[in-house]
C-alpha cells in the first residue's frame, strides 16, 4: 500500500549558484559527509548533489505532515550495486527512490 509519494526537479545551474554564493556553509547544511564524499568523487559532482537535493525534497513531500526533519536528517547513499536508498534519522521507513539527471536537471521520486 502506498502511504505517500513525492517528486522534485532541480535545475543544476541554480544549485551551482547556491554553492558558489554560500560554499561550505550551504553544503554542510544540506548534505551529510557521506553524500559530499560520494558526489565529489564523481566526474560531475553537481549533478549528483542536485539529484540528492531533489531526492530529499521528494521525501519531504512523500512524508507530508510528519515531525520536523532537516535536510541532514535524510541521507541519500548508494548500495553496493549503485542503487540509491535513504536513511532517515531516528526512523525505520521504507522508501522507494528513483534519481536521474542530465547536464541541466536532476529529478527524483520517492514512494512510501
The pLDDT of residue 1: 86
Question: What top-level class would CATH report for the domain 5-111?
Answer: alpha beta
| 73 annotated binding-site participant | no
DSSP 73-105: GEEEEE-TTS-EEEEETT-----EEEEEE-SSE
| 75 annotated binding-site participant | no
pLDDT tens digits for range 26-71: 999 999 999 999 999 999 999 999 999 999 999 999 998 777 889 9
Please tell me the distance from the alpha carbon of residue 22 to that of residue 11, in angstroms, as a whole number. 17
Amino acid at each position: 500500500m502506498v502511504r505517500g509519494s513525492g517528486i522534485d526537479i532541480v535545475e543544476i545551474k541554480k544549485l551551482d549558484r547556491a554553492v558558489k554564493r554560500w560554499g561550505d556553509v550551504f553544503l554542510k547544511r544540506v548534505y551529510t559527509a557521506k553524500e559530499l564524499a560520494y558526489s565529489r568523487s564523481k566526474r560531475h559532482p553537481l549533478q549528483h548533489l542536485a539529484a540528492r537535493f531533489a531526492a530529499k525534497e521528494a521525501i519531504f513531500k512523500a512524508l507530508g505532515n510528519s515531525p520536523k526533519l532537516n535536510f541532514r536528517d535524510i541521507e541519500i547513499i548508494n548500495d553496493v550495486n549503485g542503487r540509491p536508498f535513504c536513511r532517515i534519522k531516528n526512523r525505520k521507513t521504507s522508501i522507494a527512490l528513483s534519481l536521474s539527471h542530465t547536464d541541466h536537471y536532476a529529478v527524483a521520486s520517492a514512494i512510501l
